Chain A
Amino acid sequence: MAVLLIAEHHDGVLKLATLNALTAAARFDVSVEVLVAGKHAGRIAEEIATFTGVNQVLIADAPAYADQGVENVAALVTELVTTSAYSHVLAASTAYGKNLLPRVAALLDVAQISDVVEIISTSRFVRPFYAGNALATVESADPVKVLTVRTTAFAAAEKSASSAAVTALALAHETGLSRFVSADFSVSERVELTCAKIIVSGGRGMGSGANFALLERVADKLGAAVGASRAAVDAGFVSNDMQVGQTGKIVAPQLYIAVGISGAIQHLAGMKDSKIIVAINKDQDAPIFRIADYGLVADLFEAVPALEAALS
């Protein structure tokens, strides 16, 4: 038996979430095979082959996978699983993994377990639900377990001294169901939110998008990423890929600084596993103070510049 891990990559860059999912895949103590689907993805395949835990890399390099259209990739994964002896299919619980794996699971006629935070055995897993207010232990009787893995719950795999073999697959599934039109990525020179060690996040209390510059200056001092609550995104202060929460990104940095964020259930679901939480809010009764390790009741427009100065 073996585990099939779906690698995620974009624009010739391996997505780091794949390395967290690799750690989870290696827990099953069987061979881990990593699938890289894409066009000209050879470099990605060679890169992932150098990480600890990878036994083999399968590369499907065909025009059908050029834009990694989910319908085509799901057909590819399904064929691989039905023709080989895989016990588990894994992907990181990112927008890519969440889009792909349920389609694969349904094609295989098995249930899927989303956002796994703990692997108890080959068939027993823990996952949060109700916005992280409850943890379910689930036992699966499916012949193939299809799992998405919460990246913050597993450390990233390390580089290995050796390199796994890379095997090319001659499979091309062109379903013709969808066509890539365009992509628009927000340009950011900062560390990615989901792998940042420190995150400075702003909420409705920031008042405007321009005021996020205050947080950016603090983030620059700390080498941190900048996040936001849904209220700040809905108010149009910042773009929604910065949103931390149940419906945005789930993060668990060493330090999370919540500025002008009240602490709604939806937001806490995305950050309450952070090691240290700091809250800066002028409302001393804000729910965020109930989970903050360090709380400062203050006007953020005074406290944030003072924080920036104190870090100089």
Chain B
Amino acid sequence: MKVLVAVKRVVDYNVKVRVKADNSGVDLANVKMSMNPFCEIAVEEAVRLKEKGVATEIVVVSIGPTTAQEQLRTALALGADRAILVESAEELTSLAVAKLLKAVVDKEQPQLVILGKQAIDSDNNQTGQMLAALTRYGQGTFASKVEVSGDNVAVTREIDGGAQTVSLKLPAIVTTDLRLNEPRYASLPNIMKAKKKPLEVLTPDALGVSTASTNKTVKVEAPAARSAGIKVKSVAELVEKLKNEAKVI
């Protein structure tokens, strides 16, 4: 079966971003960008499905600026067969991204779509669920285990207080949690080979999707900084402070 994986180019997870002085957004100039960690897990899962003989083709798609081709090449180096970039320079809402992905799903007709559960820049945790709604497919979000059998996929989901397993009719949408797998690294020969794999570039217009947003970010601020604390010398002093100064125990 064909598996479609969506990946996003985001600020590297180790970078602590700064809010711009004019409160218009965060400063992304000269900041290291990477593939969103949850998307890496999504690619890895697709590659494992292919290694098991379940998946026959892996198509990786990204929606974003021209530079997102770097992340698509990374996914190709990890084992995806071909890539699609839906090029858009503007910042899109999850709904717009889901609509663009829906258009790609219509075109590619995958049996399984794997996305990360959330992007570490917007922290929205919406796109997979929205894509499932638009395609009218079942959704297995926050997946820690994915097992395809026949026309169904059993997805074990991380939920508050434990785990839950649901069986979805294929085609279906799955979003990855951290526990799903440990992504591999791309080897140098595979990075070289990935340069020759096909990468198609599309536009929202070509897909017939309007990306107009009903949401406007009015301003972006830095959160209130915590006032500097003190270092205590002993456990006794700590307990005394918690009891008498902070009054929390």
Q: For the complex, is B29 an interface residue (Cβ under 8 Å from A)? A: no
Q: How far apart are B166's CB and chain A's nearest CB, in angstroms? A: 5
- B133 lies within 8 A of A74 (CB): yes
A102 neighbours in B (Cβ, 8 Å): 94, 125-130, 133
A112-B94, A133-B223, A296-B231 known; A181 vs B167 contact (CB < 8 Å): yes
On whether the beta carbons of A295 and B138 are closer than 8 Å, the reply is no
B164 within 8 A of A: yes
A277 within 8 A of B: yes
Q: With A130-B26, A130-B121 given, is the CB distance from A95 to B159 under 8 Å? A: yes
In the assembled complex, which residues on chain B have CB atoms less than 8 Å from the CB atom of A109?
A: 95
* A33 at the binding interface (Cβ < 8 Å): no
Q: Given that A96-B160, A310-B236 are known contacts, is A179 also in contact with B167, CB under 8 Å in the complex? A: yes
Q: Mask for B31-47, Cβ within 8 A of A = 1, else 0?
A: 00000001000000000
Cβ contact of A294, chosen from B38, B141, B242, cutoff 8 A: B242
A137 to B165, CA, bound (A): 37
Q: Which of A246, A247, A296 contacts B232 (CB 8 A)?
A: A296
Interface residues of A in 222-248 (CB under 8 A from B): 222, 230, 234, 239-241, 246-247
Question: Which residues in chain A, 7-41, are within 8 Å of chain B measured between CB atoms?
Answer: 10, 15
| B235 CB, nearest partner CB in chain A, Å | 4
Contact B160 A95 (CB under 8 A): yes
Q: Tell me the bound Cα distance from A269 to B235 in angstroms.
A: 27
Which residues of A in the span 76-132 have a Cβ within 8 Å of any Cβ on B? 94-96, 98-107, 109-115, 124, 128-132
B94, B95, B129, B178: residue with the most chain A Cβ atoms closer than 10 Å: B129
The bracket for how many chain B residues form the interface is 35 or more
As a 0/1 sequence over residues 124 to 156 of chain A, the CB contacts with chain B under 8 angstroms (1 = contact) are 100011111111111111100000000000000
Contact count band on A: 35 or more
Question: Which residues of chain A have a CB within 8 Å of any CB of chain B?
Answer: 10, 15, 69-71, 74, 94-96, 98-107, 109-115, 124, 128-142, 175-186, 192, 194, 198, 222, 230, 234, 239-241, 246-247, 249, 254-255, 265-266, 272, 275-278, 289-298, 303, 306-307, 310-311
Interface CB pairs A-B, < 8 A, 23: A95-B158, A95-B159, A99-B139, A102-B130, A129-B123, A131-B120, A132-B223, A133-B16, A134-B220, A136-B220, A137-B219, A178-B140, A178-B166, A179-B168, A185-B162, A186-B161, A239-B162, A266-B13, A290-B228, A291-B229, A294-B238, A307-B235, A310-B236
Excluding A70-B129, A130-B17, 14 further A-B contacts by CB distance (< 8 Å) are A98-B129, A102-B130, A105-B95, A111-B95, A111-B214, A112-B126, A133-B222, A135-B223, A175-B136, A184-B164, A240-B144, A240-B179, A246-B120, A266-B13
